[in-house]
Amino acid sequence: MSTQIFSLHQLGWRPAYAQHLTIDDFEAGYPARVVGVHRNGLAVLSSQGAALVALPPQRAAMAETAITVGDWVMVEQDASRMLRLIERQSLIARVAAGSDHRLQSIAANLDTLFIVTSCNDDFNPSRLERYLALAFEAAVTPVVILTKPDMCADANHYADAARQVAPSVTLLMVNATDATSIAQLRPWLQSGQTVAFIGSSGVGKSTLTNMLVGDTTRLTAAIREDDAKGRHTTTSREMYALASGAWVIDTPGMRELRIGAASTGMSAVFDDIETLAAQCRFRDCRHESDEGCAIVSAMADGELDGRRFANYFKLQREAVNATLSTKERHERDRQFGTMSRTAMRAKRDRQGR
């Protein structure tokens, strides 16, 4: 079991968390940060050290969706049992696979989301927009990292394209294999800061984190702890400390993110398009013909990239889908089913069968 003890401040505690707690809360328990979520409880770190705490019975069933890595919880004094979840400052969630489109928590209380892409074929403005919308929706500050500038003849071409997509977002060009270059990340990696890396396979996320972990013992290593019945259990952590004192959240869920109901995030990334849409002559403009449509006219003038508008449309559709209730989705699927059956019948009729 890890013996390192962190202060609340080192663990990322902020005064804002205390605003939602009462004196009674502090008398009953103490705050702890969730570093792993398991079927039999939560792996937490607090100023008392590492522990595996049980979930209250009503929480256990919904633990996987309700509490996530990075969360702050109150733990009962002496009982190793979670009392309550402390209100989050930010939350990355995704639409769960399956038909009910539940929102599933992935990572909580992040300060920065590093969006990693490379100066090569991986670079894709639409994917960048998707990740940016996700960060803004989660209330996390995005920072774009362009890796492999050393392997490309014209890295500035990629940097310009990234700036065009997100003029107000910080962009760093980082050779992930070079410690001097990685030092550019320092302002976001101060003690108690929590970050995550997102991006396609092979863009350099592990290279970056491995370099940043430095000499300290990597805390992702499984730790052995006694569970409530005195048995040894092995728990793995999905949040670990960097040499600088910052925390990295690295959960499997981070690698499979789809956008959810992201209206705030969409507005932050596509404010240019939403401003244009407000100038269309008709309030319900579908932006398809040039009759008083500010968007069609901006595309014709070359002021708005057709690719960007198409991606806005696509993400918007995904976001709407995510907010439909199961009943509405069934109704839509049923209508679609009727439509395709009618089409099939028409086709058979035409073929004289």
Ligand X SMILES: Nc1nc2c(ncn2[C@@H]2O[C@H](COP(=O)(O)OP(=O)(O)OP(=O)(O)O)[C@@H](O)[C@H]2O)c(=O)[nH]1
CB of 149 to ligand X, least distance (A): 7
Question: Which partner in Zn ion, ligand X, none is near 293 (CB below 5 to 8 A by kind)?
Answer: Zn ion
Residue list 29-68, contact with Zn ion (CB under 5 A): none
Considering Cα of 314, then 325, then 66, then 235, what sign does the dihedral take?
Answer: negative
Question: Which partner in ligand X, Zn ion, none is near 295 (CB below 5 to 8 A by kind)?
Answer: Zn ion
Residue 298 within binding range of Zn ion, rule CB under 5 A: no
330 is in an annotated binding site: no
Question: Which partner in ligand X, Zn ion, none is near 142 (CB below 5 to 8 A by kind)?
Answer: none
Nearest residue to 115 (alpha-carbon basis) of 143, 85, 149: 143
In this structure, the dihedral spanned by the alpha carbons of residues 37, 41, 42 and 47, taken in order and rounded to 10 degrees, is -170
CB of 307 to Zn ion, least distance (A): 18
CB of 105 to ligand X, least distance (A): 21
- Exposed e or buried b per residue across 12-41, where buried means at least 16 C-beta atoms within 10 angstroms of its C-beta: bbeeebeeebeeebeeebbbbbbbbbbeeb
Q: Can you tell me which of 45, 116, 293, 319 binds Zn ion, judged by CB under 5 A?
A: 293
Computed on alpha carbons and rounded to an integer, the radius of gyration of the chain in Å comes to 24
If the CB atoms of residues 206 and 279 are measured against Zn ion, the closer one turns out to be 279
285 is in an annotated binding site: yes
If the CB atoms of residues 65 and 181 are measured against ligand X, the closer one turns out to be 181
204 is in an annotated binding site: yes
Residue 280 within binding range of Zn ion, rule CB under 5 A: yes
Residue 295 within binding range of Zn ion, rule CB under 5 A: yes
What residue number has its CB nearest to ligand X?
Answer: 204
Q: Are residues 17 and 3 in contact, defined by beta-carbon separation less than 8 angstroms?
A: no
* The two structure tokens encoding residue 260: 């959810």
280 is in an annotated binding site: yes
Separation between Cα atoms, residue 57 and residue 62, nearest integer Å: 10
Backbone angles phi, psi at 109, to 5 degrees: 60, 40
Question: Which partner in Zn ion, ligand X, none is near 325 (CB below 5 to 8 A by kind)?
Answer: none
Nearest residue to 198 (alpha-carbon basis) of 125, 149, 252: 252
Residue 273 within binding range of Zn ion, rule CB under 5 A: no
Give contact residues for ligand X (rule: CB under 6 A): 147-148, 150-151, 175-177, 199, 201-207
For the chain, what is the total number of helices (H) and then of strands (E)?
Answer: 13, 15
Binding site for Zn ion (CB under 5 A): 280, 285, 287, 293, 295
